[in-house]
Amino acid sequence: GAGVSQTPSNKVTEKGKYVELRCDPISGHTALYWYRQSLGQGPEFLIYFQGTGAADDSGLPNDRFFAVRPEGSVSTLKIQRTERGDSAVYLCASSSLGMNTEAFFGQGTRLTVV
């Protein structure tokens, strides 16, 4: 596609429920990143994929958060037993391989846990 696509754009869920957020990166981009942006904050790194594997998941806050990228393209961020503190905008970005490359961001998914 022309850019990074994230679905849904908005998600409201009840506390304790499971949610999946989808990211469709720019075609051919091997690197994919998930960030979380809470109100009044800058984006915070969650996890980074190079191809199908998670190269760095040091930003995932706890084991309720998990992400996959089974075919090296689309990625899904999964949150189990959601809590109100998980409410935020979840941003996905992708980039091509190599040095001096920039990341392109999607519009984000706004998750609200009620």
Partner 1 sequence: AQSVTQPDIHITVSEGASLELRCNYSYGATPYLFWYVQSPGQGLQLLLKYFSGDTLVQGIKGFEAEFKRSQSSFNLRKPSVHWSDAAEYFCAVGAPEYGNKLVFGAGTILRVKS
Residues that bind partner 1 (CB under 8 A): 31, 33, 35, 40-45, 48, 50, 55-56, 59, 91, 93, 95, 99-108
Nearer residue to partner 1 within complex by CB, 41 or 80: 41
Nearer residue to partner 1 within complex by CB, 32 or 79: 32
- Residue 18 Cβ, how far from partner 1 at the closest point, in Å? 25
Nearest-angstrom CA–CA distance, 36 and 62: 13
Nearer residue to partner 1 within complex by CB, 90 or 113: 90
Closest CA to 91 of 71, 67, 72, 70: 67
Residue type present at position 15 = K
| Phi-psi region at 100: left, alpha or beta (left = phi > 0; alpha = psi -120 to 50) | left
